[in-house]
C-alpha cells in the first residue's frame, strides 16, 4: 500500500519557521513593548510608568533632535538615493554600454557601512586625510568637518548616499529592462516626447520597483546607526544622534531600558508604516493578476 501524505500535513513543515519567528521576533517584541511602559535600569525590578516614556520620546530636547535628524536622513535618502538614481538610470538605459556604469556605481556598495564610515571619517576629520592637501593647494586652513554640528548630519547622509546609490541604480536599471517596449514605442509613435513617455508610461510600469526602493530606503534611514556612530558617535555631544543611536545610548550606556524600549517601538511603528504602502500595493496587484 502506497504511503499517502494527508493534505493538512503540509502545514507541519511550517512549524520550524513559525517557531523561529516566535522565539526570535514575537517574544522579544512583546517584551520590548512591555518594558516601554516601565522604568528599568537592569538592576531593580521594572516599575510601571504608563506612557511617560513615549511622552519623553516626543518632548525631551535631545530625543526631539534625534527625531529631527532621522527625518533629515529620510528626506535626504528619498531625494538623493531614490529620485536621483531613478533619473540617472533612465539616462543610462539609453546608452548601449550600461554594464560599465553598473560596475562603476556598484563599487561603493561593496563596502559595509562600518568600513565606509571609517574611511570617510579618516578623510573628513583627520589632518592626514585626503582633504588636507586640497586645502593647502587652495591656500586655505583645514578645518575638520565632522565636529561641526551644523553640517555633520548632512555630510553623513552624503556618505550613506555614496554607498547605496549604486544598489538603487541597478534595481532601477533591472526594472527598466523588464518593461515591455511596445507601450513605449507606441507612445513615441503617437508623438509623445521622452519626458512624457517616462512620466505616463515608464514610471507607472516601474511602480513596484519604485515602491520597493522607497520602502527599503525609508526603513534603512529610520534605523540608521552604523555610519553616524562609527564616524562621530552621534556627536559632538548628542547633536547628530539618530533614533537608533538614541536607543542604544539610552538602553545600554545610560541604563534607561524603559525609555530605550519606547524608542525601539517608535522606530518599529515608523518602519511598519513605511513598508505598509509597498506591501498593500503589491498585494492588490497580485489579487488583480
Q: pLDDT in tens for each of the 289 residues of the chain?
A: 455 556 667 777 788 888 888 888 889 899 999 999 999 988 889 999 999 999 999 999 999 999 999 999 999 988 888 889 988 888 888 777 777 888 888 888 888 888 888 888 888 776 666 677 777 777 777 677 788 888 889 999 999 999 888 889 999 988 888 888 888 778 777 777 778 878 888 888 888 888 888 888 888 899 899 999 999 988 888 999 999 999 999 999 999 999 999 999 999 998 888 877 666 665 555 544 4
CA 178, distance to chain mean position in Å, is: 25
- End-to-end CA gap in the chain: 41
Instruction: Say which DSSP state 50 is in.
Output: T
For residues 223 and 189, is the Cβ–Cβ distance under 8 A?
no
pLDDT, residue 287, reads: 46
pLDDT, residue 63, reads: 94
pLDDT, residue 1, reads: 46
Per the DSSP assignment, residues forming a β-bridge with 39 are: 47
For residues 167 and 217, is the Cβ–Cβ distance under 8 A?
no
Per the DSSP assignment, residues forming a β-bridge with 47 are: 39
What is the pTM (predicted TM-score) of this model?
Answer: 0.84
pLDDT, residue 214, reads: 87
pLDDT, residue 30, reads: 92
Cα dihedral across residues 271, 156, 83, 173: positive or negative: negative
CB neighbourhood size of 78 (10 A): 16
What is the spatial distance between Cα 189 and Cα 27, in angstroms, rounded to a whole number?
58
List the grid coordinates of 125.
576629520
* Residue closest to 206 by CA, chosen among 123, 285, 106, 103: 285
What is the spatial distance between Cα 183 and Cα 180, in angstroms, rounded to a whole number?
7
What is the spatial distance between Cα 260 and Cα 248, in angstroms, rounded to a whole number?
7
What is the spatial distance between Cα 174 and Cα 97, in angstroms, rounded to a whole number?
14
Domain architecture of the chain: domains with CATH: 23-178+204-288 (1.10.3720.10)
Amino acid at each position: 500500500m502506497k504511503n499517502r501524505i494527508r493534505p493538512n500535513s503540509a502545514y507541519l513543515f511550517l512549524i520550524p519557521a513559525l517557531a523561529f519567528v516566535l522565539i526570535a521576533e514575537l517574544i522579544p517584541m512583546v517584551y520590548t513593548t512591555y518594558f516601554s511602559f516601565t522604568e528599568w535600569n537592569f538592576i531593580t525590578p521594572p516599575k510601571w510608568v504608563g506612557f511617560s516614556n513615549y511622552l519623553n520620546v516626543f518632548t525631551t530636547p535631545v530625543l526631539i533632535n534625534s527625531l529631527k535628524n532621522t527625518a533629515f536622513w529620510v528626506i535626504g535618502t528619498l531625494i538623493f538615493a531614490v529620485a536621483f538614481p531613478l533619473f540617472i538610470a533612465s539616462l543610462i538605459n539609453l546608452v548601449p554600454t550600461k554594464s560599465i556604469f553598473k560596475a562603476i556605481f556598484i563599487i561603493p556598495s561593496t563596502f559595509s557601512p562600518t568600513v565606509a564610515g571609517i574611511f570617510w571619517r579618516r578623510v573628513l576629520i583627520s589632518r592626514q586625510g585626503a582633504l588636507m592637501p586640497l586645502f593647502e593647494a587652495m591656500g586655505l586652513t583645514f578645518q575638520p568637518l565632522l565636529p561641526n554640528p551644523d553640517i555633520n548630519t548632512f555630510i553623513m547622509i552624503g556618505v550613506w548616499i555614496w554607498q547605496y546609490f549604486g544598489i538603487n541604480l541597478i534595481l532601477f536599471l533591472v526594472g527598466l529592462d523588464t518593461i515591455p517596449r511596445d507601450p513605449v514605442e507606441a507612445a513615441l509613435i503617437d508623438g509623445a516626447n521622452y519626458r512624457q513617455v517616462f512620466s505616463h508610461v515608464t514610471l507607472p510600469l516601474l511602480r513596484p520597483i519604485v515602491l520597493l526602493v522607497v520602502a527599503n530606503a525609508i526603513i534603512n534611514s529610520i534605523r540608521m546607526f552604523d555610519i553616524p556612530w562609527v564616524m562621530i558617535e552621534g556627536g559632538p555631544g548628542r547633536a547628530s544622534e539618530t533614533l537608533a543611536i538614541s536607543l542604544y545610548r539610552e538602553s545600554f550606556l545610560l541604563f534607561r531600558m524603559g525609555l530605550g524600549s519606547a524608542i525601539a517601538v517608535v522606530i518599529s511603528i515608523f518602519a511598519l508604516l513605511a513598508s505598509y504602502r509597498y506591501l498593500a500595493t503589491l498585494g492588490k496587484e497580485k489579487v488583480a493578476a
